Structure 1
Amino acid sequence: MIPAKRLSLSATLLLAAAMPAYAHVGIGTASSFTAGFMHPLSGLDHMTVMIAVGLWAAIKGGKAVLAWPAAFVGVMLVGGALGMLHMPLPFVEPGILASVVTLGLLVALAIDLPVSVGVAIIGLFALFHGHAHGTEVPENAGGLEYMAGFAIATLLLHGTGIAAGLGLGIRFRGLARTAGAACAAIGIGLAFGIV
């Protein structure tokens, strides 16, 4: 018999994969440091995922506190380069939407995975986020300033999640898990066009 946590996670991933977020491609200018820095702060999908990575890392503790945010930013930059080179990547929008729901659930359920498995999950989602943003960089712009701004803002949001998770500590871990549930709810709301 499949455990309830695994079943609900699988169902959510299938739902998210079936519905596009349409949150990224072709929106706004993406040729400056400021534009890159502001982009993660401009939408719930970005903010919730970036903070959820930090919260999940704080809940896990140990090496995850550095490894998971570093994996996200590193792979996001690779995805951004692929997007700027116009290399196709399937399922970008569903992958971004799935990241909101899945990372929210991982925090809400306090799923304890090995650090390497967390790196793989986070890296996969970061690839989608980075690719979407790389495709937004205009042809006549190098995009390096934009990606630098995006990376720094992403690290700050990860840091916010880590600080909140560590600050709440074990005694108030339920609040961090509630924030994860809110992230998953936002993802589901995006899927259905409610948010």
Structure 2
Amino acid sequence: MLRAEIIETQSVWDSKFDIDTIALPMIAYLLDDKHVLATLKQETFDGHNTYVAPPRDLSQDDPDYEQVMAALRKHHRDFAQSQADRGEKELRAIIAEIRTEAKSDRIRGFRNFRMRSAHLVIQTRAERGAPGGIPKITFDDASDILECTITLTERLYCWVCGTSFDISTDVRRIEEEHAKALWLQYLRPLDEA
């Protein structure tokens, strides 16, 4: 099972720059543009700088109404700006982490393991051409890379899409729903018999 996870996870770290891939290095490359980052920053700001509803106990006839509403709007604007700044800073950090990890020996070893497993070769091109050899990966390396991939993906999703997605919880729930649907599909004919 781990071998299949490694093969699939490695595709997320594919170093080939192809616009049709959804590899993390390609996403980092596309995000690392001042116009793209500015657009995402503006979207984050706009998403947090929404309509401000007056407090329930504040009437429009209240003499402090305009002052209170102005303070609330300023608070919302300030919060929106802090989230936009935080999002830009976080995206820049994610881009740097992806680039660092993509060049790491762990990923080189991971990529080589994938090539050997997926293509059933004795020696890969990388092994033939590497003067110092390709580092071998351990179970801990594979687990660390998988965890790193999940964490970076969740963080990217949060700041690019403007909402969170907890892979470990959400995917588990989705898989459970699909498994139930599958079992119900096969059990129904037995119940009808």
Does the alignment reach a TM-score above 0.5? no
Greater gyration radius: 2
Task: Give TM-score, length-normalised by structure 1.
Answer: 0.30
In the superposition, the TM-score normalised over structure 2's length comes to 0.30
